[in-house]
Amino acid sequence: MCFARRQFLHSAASAAALTVLPFIARAQGYPARPVRIVAPFAPGGTGDILARLIGQELSQRLGQSFVIENRGGGGTNVGTEVVVRAPPDGYTLLLIIPPNVINVTLYENLSFNFIRDIVPLASISTTPGVVVVNPQFPASSIPELIAYTKANPGKTYISSGGVGSSQHVYGELFKMMTGADITHVPYRGEGPALADLIGGQVQVLFSLLPGAIEYIRAGTLRALAVTTAARLPQLADLPTVGDFVPGYEASAFQGLGAPRNTPDDIVDKLNAEVNALLDKPDLKARIAELGGAVFKTSPAEFGKYLAEQRAKWASVIKFANIKAQ
């Protein structure tokens, strides 16, 4: 009886071990060939620089090429769908940025659902925003900006990188929380939006910091406040929007995702590898040079963050009645 029981327990343990072994072997053997990271925007800009930086670091760490593939179009929807339709084997990843969660609400007839169809792997960084105005604009603070727009309705124009862009929804959140009277003027990218702000065709822009910081330092643009919850070391004397509008906070973010049903062991391995990279002082310094800050999470924590961001911007999109163009 005792022998039979011991034999049964031994057999059960062996079976359990055999079940686990393929997963261990798969995680240990991954990646066995090059991995592509789809960046759902055109080459150039902070997001592209960051994607290539992370790809290079992962290549060195894991001994396989992590190749960046730019697939712009549809406000990130084209590149995102490439990843959604790819095999869930860890060899096609997505660089996740704010439009991914914004588009869940902005577009009514997408053929995929980002929250459902993309597995969060790891967050990478956050990028702050900054409220900038043309130096000729008669407002030197957030309270003055709000007061001017209300006293002069229809005379203040705010530019953005396009309908549904981070700059657009940051401005609409500001309008929702303050009642400021500002008219949105969309451009094809943040570069043209900054150019017309400098030229005086528009007066205000909720810019991402990397795009505006050199203009601020040169005095070409006047900074009123940063959009983050806390002040920034790069602009230590500048207040936050939240100092005057309690609860206001808006930051861009970057991370990695993969197709739904990507095996958990690969998800966990990529999360561990990215988080290890983010502990490197030289990588932290490079991200800071790009105007960002390291943002480390588990896959579950990153998923929760993405869901919260989707809900936040959904309320803004509905309030402002923003429609995809």
> In which element (H, E) is residue 123 found?
strand 118-133
In this structure, what DSSP letter does residue 291 have? T
Token pair of 176 as six digits: 């929702």
Q: Does residue 39 carry a pLDDT above 90?
A: yes
Coil/strand/helix, residue 106: helix
DSSP codes joined into one string, 15-50: HHHHHHHHHHHHHHH--SS-EEEEESS-S-SHHHHH
Residue 11 pLDDT: 54
37 or 20: which carries more pLDDT confidence? 37
**The pLDDT value given to residue 14:** 52
8 Å CB contact between 33 and 64: yes
Q: What number is the average pLDDT over the span 293-307? A: 97
Average pLDDT value for residue range 78-102: 97
Q: Can you give the pLDDT at residue 146? A: 98
Q: pLDDT tens across 192-225, in order? A: 999 999 999 999 999 999 889 999 999 999 999 9
Contact 163, 186 (CB under 8 A): yes
Radius of gyration of the chain (CA): 23
% of the chain with per-residue pLDDT over 90? 80
- Mean pLDDT of the chain, nearest integer: 91
Pull the structure tokens for residue 270. Answer: 């990529």
- Number of Cβ within 10 Å of residue 267's Cβ equals 22
Pick the CATH number of 27-127+251-320 from 3.30.450.80, 3.30.9.90, 3.40.50.720, 3.40.190.150: 3.40.190.150
Q: Amino acid identity of 213?
A: I
Class of domain 128-243: alpha beta
Q: What is the rounded average pLDDT of the residues 11-26?
A: 49
Q: Does the pLDDT at position 279 exceed 60?
A: yes
**In angstroms, rounded to a whole number, what is the distance separating the alpha carbons of residues 22 and 221?**
58
Q: Is the pLDDT of residue 74 over 80?
A: yes
Of 170, 185, 194, the C-alpha closest to 249 is 170
CA dihedral 261, 116, 323, 240 (to 10 degrees): -100
Q: What are phi and psi of 5, to 5 degrees?
A: -65, -45
- Going by their DSSP bridges, the two strands 204-208 and 118-133 should be labelled as antiparallel
Cα distances from 320 to residues 171, 184, 290, 313, in angstroms, run 10, 11, 31, 10
The answer to whether residues 228 and 131 touch, using CB atoms and an 8 Å cutoff, is no
- CA neighbours closer than 13 Å in the CB half-sphere of residue 71: 19
Position 21 pLDDT exceeds 50:
no
pLDDT 10s digits, 95-115? 999 999 999 999 988 999 999
Per-residue model confidence (pLDDT) at position 20: 45
d(CA 284, CA 172): 31
Q: Is the pLDDT of residue 122 over 70?
A: yes
More confident residue, 22 or 147: 147
**β pairing state of 66-70 and 92-96:** unpaired
How far are the Cα atoms of 114, 253, 275, 276 from residue 58, in angstroms, in the given order? 24, 19, 11, 10
Q: How confident is the model at residue 25, as a pLDDT?
A: 45
pLDDT of residue 325: 73
What gap in Å lies between CA 266 and CA 31, rounded to an integer? 9
In tens, the pLDDT along 173-188 reads: 999 999 999 999 999 8
What is the model's pLDDT at position 75?
Answer: 87
- CATH 3.40.190.10 residue spans of the chain: 128-243
* pLDDT computed for residue 190 by the predictor: 87
pLDDT at 27: 58
Tell me: pLDDT of 30 over 70: yes
- Say yes or no to pLDDT of 19 above 60: no
Residue 24 has pLDDT above 90, yes or no: no
What value does the mean pLDDT take over residues 52-58?
96
Maximum Cα–Cα distance for the chain, whole Å? 93
Domain with CATH 3.40.190.150 in the chain: 27-127+251-320
Question: 229-257 pLDDT, tens per residue?
Answer: 999 988 999 999 999 999 999 999 999 99
Q: What is the pTM of this model?
A: 0.86
The more confident residue out of 54 and 27 is 54
